[in-house]
């Protein structure tokens, strides 16, 4: 028997996301469900290559979607970790800076594969309109208690909204 997916949207709070400087991999995908399945492979490439040393230094990782909520039909996805202001970006990785923003923050209790359902519910709810000008559409923040084997636990979704 299939497990029923959660239908209620977790409590959403509005907060201020600080500026972040990240190092990782950036790839472009069609904004389709099939293409989104490839994001796991991007994380594996990051963890098995130039990102291995960075992952060992800190427990928090970030997945950043750009263009996901737009009309282009494309999504740029960045997988990486935060680095310090003076840290060098390791060879083979890209630097990505996120400015400070007012954002909706959702604690996602489901699996990684259910993130799109949570974001769709948030967008349909409409109580917090998306920021008109935004450098990204969605940040997935994977905390120290995230379990990559089960793809669950300690996931926050961060979406830029109007002040």
Checking if the pLDDT of 32 tops 80, the result is no
Answer yes or no: do 65 and 114 share one domain: no
Is 5 inside a domain boundary? no
Beta strands in the chain, from DSSP E residues, in sequence order: 12-17, 20-30, 61-66, 74-82, 94-98, 101-108, 138-142, 155-160
Is 94 in the same domain as 118? no
Question: Tens of pLDDT along 64-80?
Answer: 999 888 777 788 999 99
96 with 108, same domain: the answer is no
48 and 63 in a single domain? The answer is yes
- Between strands 101-108 and 94-98, the pairing is unpaired
Pair of tokens at residue 51: 């990102």
- Quick one: pLDDT at residue 93? 95
DSSP-based three-state secondary structure for 87? coil
Instruction: State the pLDDT at residue 21.
Output: 95
In a domain, 47, yes or no: yes
Quote the pLDDT of residue 9: 57
Domain membership flag for residue 125: yes
Q: Are residues 93 and 19 in the same domain?
A: yes
The predicted-structure confidence for 70-115, as pLDDT tens digits, reads as follows 777 788 999 999 999 999 999 999 999 999 999 999 999 889 989 9
Domain that holds residue 109: 104-131+147-155
- For 33-74, how does the pLDDT look when each residue is reduced to its tens digit (9 = 90+)? 777 778 888 999 999 888 888 888 877 999 999 988 877 778
CB atoms within 10 A of CB 103: 23
Q: Residue 10: pLDDT band by 50, 70, 90 thresholds?
A: low
Query: In terms of domains, do 36 and 68 share one?
Result: yes
Q: Does residue 4 register a pLDDT over 50?
A: no
- Specify if 73 maps to a domain: yes
**d(Cα 49, Cα 60) in Å, to the nearest integer?**
18
Domain count, the chain: 2
Please state the φ and ψ torsions of residue 13, each to the nearest 5 degrees: -120, 155
pLDDT (mean) for 135-147: 92
Q: What is the 3-state secondary structure (H, E, C) of 2-43?
A: CCCCCCCCCCEEEEEECCEEEEEEEEEEECCHHHHCCHHHHH
CB-CB contact of 27 with 77 (8 Å):
yes
């Amino acid at each position: 028997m299939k497990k029923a997916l959660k239908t209620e949207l977790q409590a959403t709070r509005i907060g201020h996301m600080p500026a972040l400087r990240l190092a990782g991999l950036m790839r472009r995908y069609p904004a389709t469900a099939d293409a989104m399945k490839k994001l796991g492979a991007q994380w594996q490439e990051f963890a098995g290559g130039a990102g291995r040393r960075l992952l060992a230094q800190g427990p928090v990782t970030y997945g950043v979607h750009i263009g996901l909520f737009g009309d282009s039909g494309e999504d740029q996805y960045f997988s990486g970790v935060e680095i310090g202001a003076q840290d060098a970006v390791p060879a083979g990785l890209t630097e990505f800076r996120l400015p400070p923003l007012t954002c909706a923050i959702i604690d996602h209790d489901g699996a990684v594969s259910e993130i799109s359902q949570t974001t769709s519910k948030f967008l349909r709810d409409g109580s917090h309109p998306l920021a008109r000008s935004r450098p990204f559409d969605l940040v997935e923040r994977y905390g120290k208690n995230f379990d990559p084997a089960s793809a669950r636990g300690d996931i926050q979704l961060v979406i830029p909204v109007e002040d």
